[in-house]
Chains A and B, each alone.
Chain A
Amino acid sequence: MYKYSNIDKKIIADRTKQFQNQVERRLNGKLTEEEFKPLRLMNGLYLQLHAYMLRVAIPYGELSSTQLRKLAFIADKFDRGYGHFTTRQNIQFNWPKLPEVPEILDQLSEVEMHAIQTSGNCIRNISSDHLAGLTAEEVEDPRPWCEIIRKWSTFHPEFSFLPRKFKIAVTGCLEDRTALLVHDIGLRLIKKNNVIGFEVFVGGGQGRTPHIAKMIRSFLSKKDLLNYLEAILTTYNQLGRRDNIYKARIKILVNELGVQKFKSLVEKNFVKFSNEKLKLDKNTINDIFNFFKLPKLKYSSNKLPISKNKKFNEWKQQNTLPHKISGYSIVLISLKPPGKPPGDADSRQMQELANISDDFSFGEIRVTHEQNLVLPHVNNTQIYQLWQQLDILKLATPNIGLISDTICCPGMDYCALATARSIPISQKIGNNFKKYFDQKSIGDIKIKISGCINACGHHHVGNIGILGLDRNGEEFYQITLGGSAKEDAAIGQIIGPSFSEKKLISAIRRIIKTYRKNKKNASEDFLSVFRRIGIEAFKKDLYDNTRKKN
């Protein structure tokens, strides 16, 4: 894992001091709320429906047990004993008090964490593959690159007041687990003629006008990474729209200019402003890579144990993946037990999980953008024991990748922007598809739920997307089908008129029925069937039935 240098420590400490000063100026009236808002946002502090919310960055999704313990401590001391893991590898605390926030930041800095640039119109937390460094098919570990970008983008003097927020993801695999193509910039490590570099995608995003990112460079040399990012940000800061908040993201600029024109402007800025000092030399890169070495793992031929325990077997089948080092497994921990808000973990779970990760996974934990956690290196011989401990903590729900493993935003229960609630919908889905056998027979499927058009719950890219709307004061839910956040990224298509909260679950059941009816064989998944038969087949089944019932 990355360890802070003295410079990192000083920079984070200074920021905490600076924010302390800003909070004091706000409390004594020297800063108006209008002036304070962008400053607090740049420190991850929002005002939600009931309280402030502090969003803490988990850079590229990597946590140590010490850090997780600190998050548990903060949840207990400054909040209501729980935290919420988000779709961009952050954790949110829902009830902090303004005068205490500098102290929370101080506590975080003790374990090399912060809330810097987790909000505001600046470059946000860099997100990455939660399996980074763990799989055999990876071209290169993306985490060191994320760290290099994290540094460059932190308090960037030129790019801290952009037209709108700016999100970057990096992956090292062709198989995408980062939602790369719905990021403002997506970087994919690739190998061409035996040289590793980046494919650069730009202009992806969700919200009210979703776009899949477009490639503007098929190969970018490693040394030029930061200069090229600067060129993209320069172009965006010059030309991104500031007249309309809904048109201010880079996706709109790329689309209005056309990708070719945008690319040529970026290339011009790349030539004009490239700075020798930003070029990355081998030593700098190697120094960062050294932080991300695997722990000392011993190759073995130990397989996962065979047990008579049905619950264990289900969990083993669903929640573990092979590690690139034989004899180890990657364990996924679902934060979607039936009836619980997706992505929430209470302080006891965090505390215990920190201990478990020390005992079973070298003190490492990962956070996924799908709001689950990962223990990256578990010895196959210890897996049963691990499962028993997770089960006690209600952290062994065997539903990774299945229908109840929804992505879900906080919705109107918490969020000041939401138009409908989303957590109760997720809970209903969880309760309706509780049995592992049922879920397994439906197979891999992604349901993603947003409580408003801003799409924090990624509904556009859900195989089934659910968008909560306000229709004359009543919650209604619009369904989209066929979205994907993976390497075959696609924006879902609206199936038709929306459903009341009451009718939503039966609508989803009917959609699943259409899928089952049409699947050619046991392994054909929902998205494949959708792509083969199209939306009309689903539409016909869904709305014909509804009419009869009415």
Chain B
Amino acid sequence: MTKKLKGDFFLLSANELQSGKVVFYTKKGWLPNSNKAIKIHRDDLSKYDDIFKKDEEKCIIISAKFVELDESGKIKTLRDKIRDSGLTIKIK
């Protein structure tokens, strides 16, 4: 999973198995807020590989992925931004 990644810093994100909600890996475990997510250097990615695999096995999360950060430390791609902050449209 780490092979294709570009960039230097990442967040670890996933969806909760039960609710499907987007979560980020923080010091306190998986939380919905990206602000508190641990900033991971690319050299450490494999360490976090083990973390999410374990939590996938424990049926806590699914669909884990590393979210790339830009130079200013913000989430880089639009898709990941929308994943983090929700719909860009008004529903009703």
Contacts and interface: CB of A to CB of B under 8 A. Distances in A.
The reply to whether A and B meet directly (CB within 8 Å) is: yes
Interface of A: 26-29, 33, 47-52, 80-82, 95-99, 339, 341, 344, 346, 412-414, 418, 420-421, 423-424, 427, 470, 473-475
B56 A33 contact: yes
A82 B87 contact: no
16 contacts: A27-B17, A47-B20, A48-B20, A50-B83, A50-B87, A51-B20, A52-B20, A96-B20, A97-B20, A98-B19, A339-B90, A412-B79, A413-B82, A413-B88, A421-B82, A423-B89
B17 A98 contact: yes
Given A47-B63, A346-B92, A413 B87 contact: yes
Interface in B56-92: 56-59, 62-63, 76-79, 82-83, 86-92
Consensus secondary structure, chain B interface? loop
Contacts of A341: 89, 91
A474 B56 CA distance: 32
A401 B56 CA distance: 47
B46 interface: no
Interface of B: 15, 17-22, 56-59, 62-63, 76-79, 82-83, 86-92
Contacts of A470: 77-78
Given A29-B58, A50-B83, A82 B92 contact: yes
A12 B22 CA distance: 32
A98 B20 contact: yes
Contacts of B89: 341, 413, 421, 423-424, 427
Contacts of B20: 47-48, 50-52, 95-98
A49 B92 contact: no
Given A47-B63, A82-B92, A427-B89, A98 B79 contact: no
Nearest to B70: A473
A475 B88 CA distance: 14
Contact of A344 (B57, B82, B91): B91
A50 B21 contact: yes
Contacts of B87: 50, 413-414
Contacts of A344: 91
Nearest to B17: A98
Contacts of A423: 89
